[in-house]
Amino acid sequence: MDFVARVYVTPKKAILDPQGKAVASSLQALGYDGVDDVRLGRYIELQLSGVAGSKAAENRVDEMCRRLLANDVIEDYRFDIEEKLEEQRA
């Protein structure tokens, strides 16, 4: 079975996010008021093939996150998994 996994990695709440702060000040400089906070993270889209089922895909992506995609000490991650239908395979 083929899956698409979408992984969202964000800095933990307690961790300073200078990139996010820079984006927030840039938005304010452009005249956008009311931007209280910006957090900047990574978005990773994985195309998986030959996985036994959605539970197996979930376990595999969680392991990938812990081993490579996210740094558990300073980052949080979450992900969703979607089965690819025939017509999306291209």
Residues of this chain that bind its own copies (CB under 8 A): 8-10, 20, 23, 26-27, 30, 32-51, 60, 64, 67-69
Q: Please, which residue, 73 or 90, has the CB nearer to its own copies?
A: 90
Burial 55-71 (b: 16+ CB within 10 A, else e): eebbebbbebbeeebbe
| C-beta of 35 vs 74, nearer to its own copies | 35
Q: How far apart are CA 1 and CA 57, in angstroms?
A: 9
Helix (H) or strand (E) holding 26, with range, is helix 18-29
Distance CA 87, CA 69 (A): 29
Residue 80 beta carbon to its own copies: minimum distance, rounded to whole angstroms: 12
User: Cβ neighbours of residue 41 under 8 Å, at least 6 residues apart?
Assistant: 8, 9, 10, 11, 75
Query: At closest approach, how far in Å is the CB of 73 from its own copies?
Result: 19
State which residue, 10 or 81, has the beta carbon closest to its own copies: 10
Q: How far is the CB of 31 from its own copies (least distance, A)?
A: 10
Nearer to its own copies, 59 or 73 (CB): 59
